[in-house]
Amino acid sequence: MAVVTLTTDFGSSDAYVGAMKGVVLSLAPGTMLVDICHDIPAQDTRAGALVLADAARYFPAGCIHVAVVDPGVGSERAGIVVAAGGQLFVGPDNGVLSLAAPLPRRVFRIAGEHLRSAEVSPTFHGRDIFAVTAGRLAAGSALEESGPAKDDMIEVALPPSPLTDDCTGEILRVDHFGNLITSLASVPVTGHWRLECDGQVFALAAGLTFSAVASGAMVLYAGSSGRMEIAVRNGSAAHLTLARAGSPLRLVRLS
């Protein structure tokens, strides 16, 4: 049974995701469809890349991952299929696939006529190109039939930010709980710290998990994402700090 995952910024209030699923199942009946996330902030390719990368590594070999966060839909940007780590990744060449597809990898431009609907909407390549491509691959189409090979693909740049006693970085994304996922590499951490973010200053303690601090207090911890995260126990760090994706931060160890 083929497995196809979907990651988009389409939300759940429209028919867009359902239409993509219908296309895949029409071409490859019996495919297992898995929703990774459809609440990526609109047009935020970096957030889509981060979410896909955090989830894709836990799927077995042979999975086909479709990611559509595509502010350039209908433009000259390419559609691509990427083979990496024993899995396939389908979507626009705008960086959304780059973090999930490790090196070494093979990249193919989607050019085959069999990989698009008879009529392609200029605003819905998710349905008319990427879902068709995923369905054909799930049904057994050869990767090499996708189109010509490409030498490279657009990458999402993440700033390398080691955690030190006085360091700077940025907020990469805010999760559903209001936890701040930072660009700082995840390492075991102890002590008390000062957070400077968007002109504000906050005190926080380091811990293994949320329960290391009292309810309502802020905690710094090594998150499951592989990056340092900041949370408020039983609350929202995003609401408290007003931080958002892209906000710069500075952490200073106090003790």
pLDDT digits 0-9 by tens, 147-183: 999 999 999 988 778 999 999 999 999 999 999 999 9
Check whether residue 138 and residue 183 sit in a common domain: no
In whole angstroms, give the CA distance from residue 226 to residue 218.
19
- Check whether residue 87 and residue 176 sit in a common domain: no
> Of 119, 150, 181, which residue is a domain's last?
150
Show the tokens assigned to 226.
């592989």
Distance CA 191, CA 69 (A): 39
Q: 236: helix, coil or strand? A: coil
In a domain, 158, yes or no: no
> Cα separation of 49 and 43, whole Å?
11
Using alpha carbons, select from 217, 222, 188 the residue that is nearest to residue 205: 217
Residue 143 sits in the same domain as residue 173:
no
Contacts of 14 (CB under 8 A, 6+ apart): none
Q: Do both 173 and 239 map to the same domain?
A: yes
**Residues 136 and 212 placed together within one structural domain of the fold:** no
Would you say residue 160 lies in a domain?
A: no
- What was the pLDDT predicted at 161? 87
Range of the domain at 90: 3-150
- Give the residue carrying structure tokens 């890349």: 49
Q: Judge whether 161 lies within some domain.
A: no
- Tell me: pLDDT of 194 over 80: yes
Q: What are the start-end ranges of the E strands in 86-198?
A: 87-92, 105-109, 149-150, 166-174, 180-185, 192-197
% of the chain exceeding 90 in pLDDT: 96
Of residues 36 and 158, the one with the higher pLDDT is 36
Output 129 or 159, whichever has higher pLDDT: 129
> Same domain for 79 and 202?
no
The dihedrals phi and psi of 53, each to the nearest 5 degrees, come to: -65, -40
Is residue 129 scored above 80 in pLDDT? yes
Q: Is residue 58 part of a domain?
A: yes
**Is residue 231 domain-resident?**
yes
Residue 37 shares a structural domain with residue 137: yes
- Percent of the chain at pLDDT > 70 equals 100
The count of other CB atoms within 10 Å of the CB of residue 84 is 18
Question: Distances in Å between the alpha carbon of 211 and those of 24, 92, 224, 232?
Answer: 43, 41, 16, 10
User: What CATH code is carried by the domain that includes residue 53?
Assistant: 3.40.50.10790
- Reported confidence tier of residue 198, pLDDT bands at 50, 70, 90: confident
Q: Could you tell me if 145 and 171 lie in one domain?
A: no
Mean per-residue pLDDT over the chain, rounded: 96
In terms of domains, do 102 and 188 share one? no
> Is there a single domain that holds both residue 177 and residue 242?
yes
- Do 216 and 94 reside in the same domain of the chain? no
Residue 110 confidence (pLDDT) above 80: yes
Choose one of 150, 179, 203: the last residue of a domain. 150
User: Who contacts 128 (Cβ-Cβ below 8 Å, separation ≥6)?
Assistant: 23, 116, 117, 119, 120, 121
Final residue before a domain boundary, out of 103, 118, 150:
150
Domain count within the chain: 2
Count of Cβ atoms closer than 10 Å to residue 54 Cβ: 21
Residues 113, 233 within the same domain: no
Q: What is the CATH number of the domain that holds 196?
A: 2.40.30.90
